[in-house]
Structure 1
Amino acid sequence: MAGVAVEVLGQASGYAERPSRLAGAVVWTNVPAAGARPVLPDGCMDLLWSEGRLLVAGPDTRAHDPGDTPARWVGVRFFPGTAPALLGVPAHELRDRRVELADLWPAAVVRRLRGRIDAAPDPAAALEEVALWRAAEADPPDPLTARIVAALDAGRPVAATADELGLGVRQLHRRSRDAFGYGPKTLARVLRLQRVLASARAGVPLAETALRAGFADQAHLARDVRGLAGMPLGRLLGARG
């Protein structure tokens, strides 16, 4: 699913990811180069560890600047819509934010977890264990979230998605804000951005990519991509390596 794939631009070869034992999640590690390019919206939320800190990356509506200071990062990227049940907070409260985990969970619990990860020979595996532990303790996510993602990622209109799920448009919007951090129209744009990038990088001509993604034309595609990514599509496509 496109929304799970990370879009970290301009990173050195220190980025790696693997599927998590937590359904739909990805475990990743990264040591970005100084001046690394922004992280693009992908519909996901992440549990992060970096140099003794535990944080949560909320859902982005715009490109996130990681800053100029190189640091080691590990993360668990949750399938879209599943993190709020684990974290115990609606996604919209974390939209476009990076917050300390201790702001969401009891400080003593976070200190204990942080100590385990700091001491672990493989912080990524230790962070994954935290996510698995929390998933076992928490209520399951809204069962409709995966269906919402699937419908919007397939290009279904918002009204048609609501009808298929037996929801009113306002109900779909409320559930989407809680699960994804924003309404279904924004989620659809974010997922479409990921499809566009995957298609263009696979060598599909931009005019055809625009048509497949449901844009009126290539200029419409370019405006929407720039609005989400903060840079032209051509720069995004040339940012790898």
Structure 2
Amino acid sequence: MYEEAAAPAALRGVARCVWRSASEGPKRIVPDGCVDLVAGDGGVFVAGPDTAAWSSVTTPGAVLSGVRFRPGRAAAVLGVAADELRDQRVPLAELWGRSVAERLAEGELSPVEAVAGRLADLPPPDSAVAELIARLEAGVARVGEAAAAMGARPEAVWVGEATSLRLEAGAARVAEAESAAVSERRLRRRFVQAVGYGPATYLRISRFQRAVALAPRVAGLAALAAAAGYADQAHLSRDCRALTGLTPRRYFRGSSTVDVAERDRLRSA
């Protein structure tokens, strides 16, 4: 059983959804660019942003509940940079103290209530990071495309590739491009701290998420690769193996994993 619902109005600026899950066996969790606060089965932990699949194993009959944060917003709520949580399952007591963690574990406090209690002094989202996330999720083929589209504001571009674009576009001086590169590096640091990894990794993961969402409606791996924005089927195959540990034929077959169907989205725990 896996049930997902829209986040309550008070949490919609920081949470993508809330969920409940019960599983009779191990469940494959694949990267989705998000961080989750998870409570149940006698524990409370934060599941950091993943770069590869992991297996969630719970006591038979145990029910987990959680809040899935919007990409880029977990760090502010949790009080720790997202890259420090990358590929980690961190007990909440290490972040918020034993009192809150114990109340969550005992059912006195829900994950939604715990997150809501942290919002009063929450800083606003980083607008440049948020815009870059949105552009990467919009289906660009390369990070440079998103950076070029943000070129009107020097602070809101991606390092390296975007600097080359500036020079090719006729930057008046090398110093001008170098100055832009400083802002680009600063943005990259902010992106990594907010999301957990760099824009190139986030683009790879969001593209795979798109393939998973499209899979129930698209017949054939070649067509799925094209619809999701991959260069070709081989490109999809490489990313699928890297992110899930399975070939596309096994992963998208449905019976091989519980998180392919739309009702069982990525990272259901």
State TM-score, norm by structure 1: 0.83
Shift of 1:229: 0.8
Is 2:147 the partner of 1:162?
yes
1:36-115 to 2 correspondences below 5 Å:
36-67=26-57, 69-70=59-60, 71-105=62-96, 107=97, 110-112=98-100, 114-115=102-103
8 Å CA contact 2:44, 2:105 repeated in 1? no
Give the residue type in structure 1 aligned to 2:122. Answer: A
Look up the SS of the partner of 2:66 in the other structure: strand
8 Å CA contact 2:38, 2:46 repeated in 1:
yes
Shift of 1:141: 2.7
CA distance in structure 2 between the aligned counterparts of 1:85 and 1:225, rounded to whole angstroms? 30
Tell me how far apart the structure 2 counterparts of residues 94 and 188 of structure 1 sit (CA, whole Å): 19
**From 85, 93, 106, the counterpart of 1:118:** 106
The CA deviation at 1:44 is 0.3
SS at match of 2:28: coil
Q: Structure 1, unaligned stretches of length 5 or more?
A: 1-13
Determine which of 209, 215, 238 is the counterpart of 1:200: 215
Structure 2 equivalent of residue 181 of structure 1: 196
Q: Secondary structure at the match of 1:20?
A: coil
Q: Deviations over 1:156-201 (max 9, x none)?
A: 2212323433334133422221111111110001101111111122
Indicate conservation of the 8 Å contact 2:93/2:100, yes or no. no
Of the structure 1 ranges 165-174 and 69-78, higher mean CA displacement relative to structure 2 is found in 165-174
Measure the CA separation in 1 of the matches of 2:208 and 2:111: 28
Once residues 133 and 96 of structure 1 are traced to their aligned partners in structure 2, the CA distance between those partners, rounded to angstroms, is: 26
Unmatched tracts of structure 2, length 5 or more: 151-155, 160-184, 262-269
Partner of 1:9: none
Aligned to 1:221: 236
2:125 aligns to what?
141
Deviations 1:69-108 (A, max 9, x none): 4332111001111100001111100000000111112x2x
Partner of residue 171 from structure 1, selected from 186, 200, 221: 186
Question: 1 CA distance for matches of 2:235 and 2:107?
Answer: 50
- Cα distance change of structure 1 residues 103 and 112 upon mapping to structure 2, 3 Å threshold: closer
Deviations 1:31-86 (A, max 9, x none): 1112x231010110011111342211100000111136433211100111110000
Q: 1:11 corresponds to which residue?
A: none
> Percent of counterpart pairs with the same letter?
42
**1:129 and 2:113 are equivalent in the alignment:** yes
In 2, distance between residues paired with 1:172 and 1:153?
Answer: 17
* Segment drifting more, 111-120 vs 165-174: 111-120
Separation in 1 of the partners of 2:236 and 2:208?
9
Query: Contact 2:136/2:203 (CA < 8 Å) preserved in 1?
Result: yes
Q: Calculate the TM-score normalised by the size of structure 2.
A: 0.75
Aligned to 1:10: none
- Maintained 8 Å contact 1:18/1:28: yes
Q: Report the secondary structure of 1:114's partner residue.
A: helix
Q: Which moved more, 1:187-196 or 1:137-146?
A: 137-146
Q: Hey, what's the Cα distance between the residues in 1 that align with 2:147 and 2:186?
A: 8
Larger radius of gyration: 2
